[in-house]
């Protein structure tokens, strides 16, 4: 960033005063089990609870008590169509058309449903390409997809960082795509790597995959609500994301699913079917023969998990009010400030402990997360930070992940993290 930073409380507080999103902090509840003033930097694992979540849940419980089964049509937000009030807001978050998005199920369930449609190995086109050290759930999902088709692990191709490096070069991803050529069926990559925080160039990867005739999809668990996505314009075939990380929508909360408009009306595209994906005009006629709804709605299986969606609604309303443009601008500025603070602390304490931020330094190659490799103290340093009231995330063998979320974190949080980090080193 072009801003000249200062690592002091007065500077951080001045930045907060100038922050157009600073008021959103008051819309969330901060955990107090360790400290009355925690530094909550783990929204990349579980976002904070929106204050309105309890209200919306209580309203649904009250309507359930009042109407019973008739709440599907008589409740203040009818359950029959509950997911529809989430669609437009979710579409804005990921840069999609409303027909391309649905909120339903859970993340890995949605990935399996999408892979069932878009991974159709035939002839020599059998390979799946993913990044090395993908999130384990993605690895397990892809392995099981291969097994379902009677294929071995030699059909899963991973792209690794170069020797001695932590990050994966997009040049290497695209080169491997071109090398596989007509053997490649699907590219399925995590949009932001959970370990390093590296954000991949999704548009470039999509173009490369399409050049060789492959489908391209992404797990956006660490990207949705974090990165300024444009899934429709980038021509991505499919994607899924969870609601519980940057989207603050309860532990194990509902998931989003994207299917590009170009596939919206293809009823012949194979899929696992369920009655909530069936033509809603005839859904209750209970007739045989699946007639999928157009667009992403056609991948739904069961009726809406209303309680989870109520929490998601509370969060999406905040995203809609703030707008992804403002969220992205603050993300870049605040993450850059946090990186500056960490580096200054590292320089000042180099004899005791050295930090290496393995997340890309370029703004366009990262989101809110910074992954800190702590050389010298590792887990001991993380535990000391926790004791001081920092709620962050540890990943073996030696990485501390911190993620300042623009809606509820502040520049002052970044300053105090630096103070606690220096104290923890001692």
Domain contains 122: yes
Residues 284 and 328 in one domain: no
pLDDT tens track for 1-11: 446 899 999 99
Using the 3D structure, point to which of 255, 287, 322 is the last residue of a domain: 322
Residues 345 and 415 in one domain: yes
Share of the chain above pLDDT 90, in %: 90
Domain contains 40: yes
Give the whole-angstrom CA distance, residue 230 versus residue 233. Answer: 6
- pLDDT band of residue 276 (cuts 50, 70, 90) is very high
Tell me what the mean pLDDT of segment 13-21 comes to: 98
Structure-block tokens of residue 63: 């309507």
pTM of the model: 0.96
Q: Is the pLDDT of residue 336 over 70?
A: yes
Cis peptide before 397 (omega within 30 of 0): yes
Domain contains 70: no
The widest CA-to-CA distance across the chain, in whole angstroms, is: 73
Structure-block tokens of residue 353: 């402990």
Domain contains 187: yes
Structure-block tokens of residue 356: 């290496």
Tell me what the mean pLDDT of segment 350-370 comes to: 92
The answer to whether residues 199 and 366 touch, using CB atoms and an 8 Å cutoff, is: yes
pLDDT tens track for 96-117: 999 999 999 999 999 999 999 9
* Residues written for the chain: 426
Q: Is the pLDDT of residue 377 over 80?
A: no
Lowest mean pLDDT segment, chosen from 314-318, 352-356, 394-398, 413-417: 352-356
Structure-block tokens of residue 363: 């703004």
Residue 95 sits in a domain whose CATH number is 3.40.640.10
Using the 3D structure, point to which of 295, 322, 349 is the last residue of a domain: 322
The answer to whether residues 46 and 244 touch, using CB atoms and an 8 Å cutoff, is: yes
pLDDT recorded at residue 39: 97
Domain contains 195: yes
Using the 3D structure, point to which of 270, 291, 322 is the last residue of a domain: 322
- pLDDT band of residue 234 (cuts 50, 70, 90) is very high
Q: Concatenate the DSSP letters of all residues of 55-79 into one string.
A: HHHHHHHHHHHHHGGGHHHHSSS-G
- pLDDT band of residue 379 (cuts 50, 70, 90) is confident
Q: Is the pLDDT of residue 426 over 90?
A: no
- pLDDT band of residue 292 (cuts 50, 70, 90) is very high
Q: Mean pLDDT in the chain?
A: 95
Domain that holds residue 171: 82-322
Domain contains 231: yes
Give the whole-angstrom CA distance, residue 340 versus residue 194. Answer: 22
Check residue 246 and report its DSSP letter. T
Q: Is the pLDDT of residue 25 over 50?
A: yes
pLDDT recorded at residue 1: 46
Residue 350 sits in a domain whose CATH number is 3.90.1150.10
Residues 152 and 295 in one domain: yes
Domain contains 63: no
Q: Is the pLDDT of residue 124 over 50?
A: yes
pLDDT recorded at residue 156: 98
Residues 209 and 260 in one domain: yes
Q: Is the pLDDT of residue 35 over 80?
A: no
Residues 316 and 416 in one domain: no
pLDDT recorded at residue 350: 81
Residues 216 and 340 in one domain: no
Residues 312 and 349 in one domain: no
Interacting residues of 322 by C-beta distance below 8 A, sequence separation 6+: 21, 24, 406, 407
Give the whole-angstrom CA distance, residue 15 versus residue 7. Answer: 12
Residues 207 and 304 in one domain: yes
Higher-pLDDT residue of 303 and 426 is 303
Tell me what the mean pLDDT of segment 361-368 comes to: 96
What total of structural domains would you count in the chain? 2
Residues 140 and 186 in one domain: yes
Residues 276 and 294 in one domain: yes
Q: Is the pLDDT of residue 365 over 50?
A: yes
Domain contains 295: yes
Lowest mean pLDDT segment, chosen from 63-72, 141-150, 192-201, 351-360: 351-360
- The SS3 of residue 256 is strand
Residues 155 and 297 in one domain: yes
Residues 260 and 402 in one domain: no
pLDDT tens track for 44-89: 999 999 999 999 999 999 999 999 999 999 999 999 999 999 999 9
pLDDT tens track for 403-420: 999 999 999 999 999 999
């Amino acid at each position: 960033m072009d801003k000249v930073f200062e690592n002091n409380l007065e500077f951080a507080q001045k930045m907060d005063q100038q922050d157009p999103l600073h008021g959103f902090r008051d819309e969330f509840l901060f955990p107090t089990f360790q400290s009355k003033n925690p530094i909550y930097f783990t929204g990349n694992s579980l976002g904070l609870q929106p204050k309105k979540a309890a209200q919306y849940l209580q309203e649904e419980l009250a309507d359930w008590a009042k109407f019973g089964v008739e709440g599907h049509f008589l409740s203040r937000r009818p359950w029959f169509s509950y997911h529809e009030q989430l669609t437009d807001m979710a579409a804005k978050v990921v840069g999609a058309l409303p027909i391309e998005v649905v909120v339903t199920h859970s993340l890995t369930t949605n990935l399996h449903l999408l892979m069932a449609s878009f991974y159709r190995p035939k002839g020599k086109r059998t390979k799946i390409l993913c990044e090395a050290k993908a999130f384990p759930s993605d690895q397990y999902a892809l392995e099981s997809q291969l097994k379902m088709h009677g294929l071995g692990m030699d059909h899963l191709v991973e792209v690794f960082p170069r020797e001695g490096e932590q990050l994966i070069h997009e040049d290497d991803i695209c080169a491997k795509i071109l090398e596989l050529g007509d053997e490649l069926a699907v590219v399925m990559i995590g949009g932001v790597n959970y370990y390093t925080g590296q954000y991949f160039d999704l548009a470039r990867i999509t173009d490369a995959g399409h050049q060789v005739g492959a489908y391209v999809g992404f797990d956006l668990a660490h990207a949705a609500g974090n990165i300024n996505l444009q899934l429709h314009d980038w021509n991505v075939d499919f994607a899924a994301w969870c609601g519980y990380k940057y989207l603050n929508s309860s532990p194990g909360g509902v998931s989003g699913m994207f299917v590009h408009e170009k596939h919206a009306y293809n009823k012949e595209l194979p899929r696992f079917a369920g009655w909530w994906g069936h033509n809603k005009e005839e859904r209750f006629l209970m007739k045989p023969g699946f007639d999928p709804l157009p667009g992403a709605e056609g991948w739904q299986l069961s009726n809406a998990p209303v309680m989870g969606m109520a929490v998601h609604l509370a969060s999406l309303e905040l995203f809609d009010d703030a707008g992804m443009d403002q969220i992205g601008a603050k993300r870049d500025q605040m993450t850059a400030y946090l990186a500056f603070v960490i580096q200054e602390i590292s320089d000042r304490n180099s004899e005791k402990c050295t930090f290496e931020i393995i997340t890309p330094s370029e703004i366009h190659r990262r989101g809110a997360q910074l992954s800190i490799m702590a050389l010298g103290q590792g887990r001991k340093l993380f535990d000391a930070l926790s004791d001081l009231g920092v709620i962050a995330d540890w990943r073996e063998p030696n990485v501390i992940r911190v993620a300042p979320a623009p809606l509820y974190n502040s520049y002052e949080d970044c300053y105090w993290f630096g103070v606690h980090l220096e104290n923890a080193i001692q």
